[in-house]
Structures are given as C-alpha cells and as structure tokens.
Amino acid sequence: MSPKPTAVLFISCPDQRGLVAQIAEFVFRYNGNIIHSDHHTDVEAGLFLMRVEWELEGMRISREEIGEAFAPLAEALNMQWELHFTDRQQRIAILVSRYSHCLYDLLLRASAGELRGKVPLIISNHEDLRPVAEHFGIPYYVFPVTRENKAEQECRELELLAQHQIDLVVLARYMQVLGPNFVSHYPNRIINIHHSFLPAFVGSRPYHQAHARGVKLIGATSHYVTELLDDGPIIEQDVVRISHRDSVDDLIRKGRDLEKIVLARAVRSHLENRVLPYGRKTVIFD
C-alpha cells in the first residue's frame, strides 16, 4: 500500500493488441508514475480486464481532469471503466443482527488502519449490539424487520444510507435476506459472508448441514450480493479442518474465526479497489 495518493483505473473491454501500451502511455503522457499494473484476459469471453494504479503527485493534470482526458481513448477502444482515488476514504455501512464477532473484527481492523475506509453508521434489526457500536463511537440504528414491514424498512434504510453517502454495505452476519429493491441500489457494492464453502450448503443452518453430512473441512465464503440467494460473485473463501469430535457448537466456534477472516479479506480487497467483478466471477488483483 502506497502512502502517497494514487489513482486506480479499472478497465474492461474487448481484447485487442496494444491495450497495455496505450493505457500505460496515457498515464505517462501526463507524467503519472505507475506503481502497479496488472491485467487478465478471459480468453473464452474475449475480455480484457485491467487494473492500473499510479501516483498522482507530479501529474500534469488535476485529478478532476483525468476522466475527461481518458474518455476519448476509452470510447475508441469500447472500454467500460472506473476511476478511483485511494486517498478518498470509502464510507461503509455495516449491517448486523445478533452475532458480534464480525462486527468487532471489522471495527478493530478499521481502528488499526487495516481498512481503507470509515464506518459512519451501523444498522441492525436488533438492539443487542448497541454497546459495541458505542464503544467505538459509531451511531447505531435499529430497524426491526417483520415479514409485513420489510419492504418499508428497507426503504428507510436506503434513505439513511443515501444521507450518509455510503459506498459499501457489509453484511456482517446480518440474518435477513435483502429484497431486490435494496440490492439493486448497490450493485457489486454489498458484501455478504456466508458460513459455508459455497456452493456447498446454500441457505440456512450450513453448519448443521455440514455436521449431518460428515465433512472433514468447513468453509466460509464472502461474495457480492445479487438477487439470487448465496449466488453472487465470490470474492474470497477459506476452510478449516474439523473432525468427528466436533459438535455443531464446535463448528460454530471454529467457523467464527473463519467468517471474520474471510469477510475482512474481502472488504479489504474491495476497499483497496482490487476486486473487479464481471459476470458471475471476480478478478482479484493482488
């Protein structure tokens, strides 16, 4: 991670010759100093996916002018692109229910400077975790959800997120399925942690399912939320070994560590603009 402010440009476009050269030349033309550049070609899809990061210091144009300067090249090469500035802290809303482990973990990492972002609010459908929010000095909003009021409550949550100019929504073991309207407001900007190695054990009570099947490893999966349950692009997964001795409670306990780490890695990668989702997959630029 560079301490100096940098720009990150994500590009996806039809594959063709000269893309790396033209993009690098663009940056160099305005005297940007490239510190990372990486790309991936999905040969089957004929798709070129690139991430390039350069230091802003010393550039001949201001950061506001970069997009305009890049637009002609982007149009000529039929690119979809996004431009990010790494000194702009992303604003994160964390949604929780009753489990505190992922919430603590994210807030402690934010305090330690591990996450390039800040958390202006926490939303829950329960009162339980208010003391955690208070310990970290973060406003805590409760929206109790029932089958009847769910759509309405989600609208109010969306308003609150808009007010706070939220960039990223993190579901830190939030035990409600978000409705399609909510999801559509944050495409590839809602990260969930599912406590199984997807696509095994979709849906509810995955540790119970794993215990019943007698697997020898349990997993956790962080993914972007789409309209289909537990189906969005996977960002990160990991597993831990279990044995016949482990009860469901042991799986839950061992799983907590896994959930924390897998969610934190995904959030961190997203905040560092290293995740490029395309179709049902993601490219993770290291």
Q: Shortest Cβ distance from residue 189 to its own copies (Å)?
A: 18
**Which residue number, 191 or 261, has a Cβ lying nearer to its own copies?**
261
Contact (Cβ atoms closer than 8 angstroms) between residue 48 and residue 15: yes
Specify the amino acid at residue 169: V
Q: Shortest Cβ distance from residue 23 to its own copies (Å)?
A: 8
The string of DSSP letters for 48-117 reads EEEEEEEE-TT-SS-HHHHHHHHHHHHHHTT-EEEEEETTS-EEEEEEE-S--HHHHHHHHHHHTT-SSE
Specify the amino acid at residue 166: I
Partner residues linked to 153 by β-bridges: none
List the catalytic residues.
230
Q: Shortest Cβ distance from residue 145 to its own copies (Å)?
A: 25
Dist. CA 202–CA 231, nearest whole Å: 9
**Which residue number, 154 or 256, has a Cβ lying nearer to its own copies?**
256
Contact (Cβ atoms closer than 8 angstroms) between residue 188 and residue 180: no
Contact (Cβ atoms closer than 8 angstroms) between residue 268 and residue 81: no
Instruction: Specify the pairing of strand 117-124 against strand 140-142.
Output: parallel
Which parts of this chain interact with its own copies (CB under 8 A)?
A: 1, 17-22, 24-25, 27-28, 31-41, 43, 58, 100-101, 104, 108, 112, 114, 135, 197-201, 212-217, 219, 233-239, 243-245, 247, 249-250, 253, 256-257, 261, 280-284, 286
**Which residue number, 76 or 112, has a Cβ lying nearer to its own copies?**
112
Q: Shortest Cβ distance from residue 263 to its own copies (Å)?
A: 12
Q: Shortest Cβ distance from residue 139 to its own copies (Å)?
A: 18
Q: Shortest Cβ distance from residue 95 to its own copies (Å)?
A: 20
**Which residue number, 111 or 181, has a Cβ lying nearer to its own copies?**
111
Dist. CA 110–CA 254, nearest whole Å: 23
Q: How distant, in Å, are the alpha carbons of 109, 120, 125, 131, 137 from that of 140?
A: 18, 9, 11, 9, 9
How is residue 79 written in tokens? 């690119």
How is residue 56 written in tokens? 């802003």
Three-state SS at 234: strand
How is residue 179 written in tokens? 């409705």
**Which residue number, 27 or 171, has a Cβ lying nearer to its own copies?**
27
For residue 276, which phi and psi values (nearest 5 degrees)? -120, 100
**Which residue number, 95 or 102, has a Cβ lying nearer to its own copies?**
102
